Amino acid sequence: MRYKFILLLLIAASSVFAQDVKRVISLAPSITENIYLVGGKDKLVGCTSYCTLAVEDGVEQIGSTVDVNVEKIFALKPDLVLTMKLTKPQDLASLEKLGLKVQVMESPRTFDEICEQTMQIAKLIGNEDQAKKVVADAKEKVTEIQKKSKRLPSSKIFFQIGANPIFTVLDKTFMNDFILYCNGENIATGLEHGTMTRESILLKNPDVIIIAEMGGFGVEEQKVWNNYKGMEAVKKNKVFLISSETSCSPTPANFASALKDVYRFVSE
């Protein structure tokens, strides 16, 4: 009984806090996108220079996720600062010493964790009802693709997210779910680090190559891969570009959109 009473008090306190949150600062692009997604953009008073949606709306910029301007954040008088673990611990400590409430988010490793994080953000800012609809819609779309993918033959997939050096999607990351949910096999399964040589990729001979457009390297890499005429992915004309804005930024809506693209790449 005592435990249940304490739990109820914590839930009530969280609810009261969320209602009082009127001014939010986001120190990560994915957090900013989630805030927009759940209808909380009017509460956003500060963001990083990489938070495209908010920057376009004229929201005050406070640096990047790694290098934040503590004085500027304090001057904006936020009720809540949301960030990821990339923000320097000393900056987080400074913000807390100034009396600001700071919530550090974990990097989601699966689609389910992306949904959980969206709900967590929504609860913190008092937009839980809209978040439930957003998450339910994304889960429905993802489940539909998973069902259709079960009818596909298994494909060996190389998902590239960096060049010079070549960097790939690893196990235990939410981007690996794109591959698994489309009945694919990640050629990087078992690797501890994301770097791969071009030779090792050629030896694994993937059926499908997907390249995130991050940093503008995608088009050039697509040209390079298409020069290897003996590779299965090239023989089948399956070397694709995918938007980094959807595939690399973990929100439920982005994941569902990117998964739709991956399914199209694998199935066509």
What phi and psi, each to the nearest 5 degrees, are found at residue 47?
Answer: -155, 175
Task: Identify the pLDDT of residue 12.
Answer: 42
pLDDT at 9 over 80: no
Pair 88, 192 in one domain: no
Q: What is the pLDDT of residues 96-106, one digit of tens each?
A: 999 999 999 99
Q: What is the pLDDT of residues 142-189, one digit of tens each?
A: 999 999 999 999 999 999 999 989 999 999 999 999 999 999 999 999
Pair 109, 178 in one domain: no
Pair 184, 84 in one domain: no
Pair 166, 255 in one domain: yes
Pair 84, 181 in one domain: no
Please indicate, yes or no, if residue 202 is contained in any of the structural domains: yes
Please indicate, yes or no, if residue 249 is contained in any of the structural domains: yes
d(CA 237, CA 239): 6
What CATH number is attached to the domain comprising 209?
3.40.50.1980
Pair 108, 185 in one domain: no
- Counting the structural domains of the chain, the total is 2
In this prediction, residues 224-250 reach a mean pLDDT of: 96
Pair 184, 120 in one domain: no
Q: What is the pLDDT of residues 137-149, one digit of tens each?
A: 999 999 999 999 9
Domain that holds residue 249: 147-267
pLDDT at 18 over 80: no
pLDDT at 3 over 70: no
Please indicate, yes or no, if residue 113 is contained in any of the structural domains: yes
Q: How confident is the model at residue 216 (pLDDT cuts 50, 70, 90)?
A: confident
Predicted TM-score of the model (pTM): 0.89
Q: What is the mean pLDDT of the chain?
A: 92
